Amino acid sequence: GAVVSQHPSWVICKSGTSVKIECRSLDFQATTMFWYRQFPKQSLMLMATSNEGSKATYEQGVEKDKFLINHASLTLSTLTVTSAHPEDSSFYICSAREWGALGYGYTFGSGTRLTVV
Amino acid sequence: RKEVEQDPGPFNVPEGATVAFNCTYSNSASQSFFWYRQDCRKEPKLLMSVYSSGNEDGRFTAQLNRASQYISLLIRDSKLSDSATYLCAVNMKTSYDKVIFGPGTSLSVIP
């Protein structure tokens, strides 16, 4: 089945630094990827939808200058958390849309646990 | 009103029990519906897509009611391994494609 590889699995960084998270679709082309954030005991909150070759669409309340999304190829989307602060500590998960025999589905990366100290 | 809402949990049921989860969505133009399960500190895994006619996969049955804008998930003969958080997801066709998740319902199956 479809596989989305997400790296790194976890990262600890100092406040004020930037962190880049990568998501790759390994055996299919993902024209659309989604980025979610999940705080403890809460659900996944959609941050943005990225389409290959165009600007991402951010959800209300998500700062596009802080969470930079690049989807330059059909198999790679990146999320960069710029000038990270402790409140950015969260579980970040990407998801790629792929077409199957019964229509489209969504495959998730394994997530990145970000801790900002 | 939230875009996707679910039964508040947690659900604690004995092994072998039947348990049902409900999920409602606000956007009547929504086109695709899914149930995911998420284990603690892991990514969500697709459990089932939900089709208009309803669908069954072993002990799991999903139903869609477009008129009332809700989907349901029924788990029969609960196993200990079914303990997880169950998330419903709705693909909302707005000006762009986006998938919104409900808050999740926690299930604990106890011996």
Cα–Cα distance measured from residue A18 to residue A29, given in angstroms and rounded to the nearest whole number = 28
Could you tell me the CA-to-CA distances from B100 to A17, A61, A86, B49 in Å, in that order?
Answer: 30, 15, 26, 14
Give the mean model confidence (pLDDT) for residues B26-30: 86
Amino acid B77 reads D
Partners of residue A90 in chain B, C-beta under 8 Å? none
Give the mean model confidence (pLDDT) for residues A95-105: 75
Cα–Cα distance measured from residue A52 to residue A72, given in angstroms and rounded to the nearest whole number = 6
Check residues B55 and A99 and name the one with the higher pLDDT. Answer: B55
Partners of residue A109 in chain B, C-beta under 8 Å? 43
Return phi, psi of residue B81, to 5°.
Answer: -70, -10
Cα–Cα distance measured from residue A41 to residue B94, given in angstroms and rounded to the nearest whole number = 28
Q: What is the pLDDT of residue B95?
A: 66
Q: Is the pLDDT of residue A29 over 80?
A: yes
Q: Is B84 part of the contact surface with chain A (CB cutoff 8 Å)?
A: no
Q: Is B2 part of the contact surface with chain A (CB cutoff 8 Å)?
A: no
Q: What is the pLDDT of residue A69?
A: 94
Q: Which distant-in-sequence residues (6+ apart) come within 8 Å of B15 by Cβ?
A: B78, B79, B80, B109, B110, B111
Cα–Cα distance measured from residue A69 to residue A67, given in angstroms and rounded to the nearest whole number = 6
Q: Is the pLDDT of residue B3 over 70?
A: yes
Q: Is the pLDDT of residue B43 over 80?
A: yes
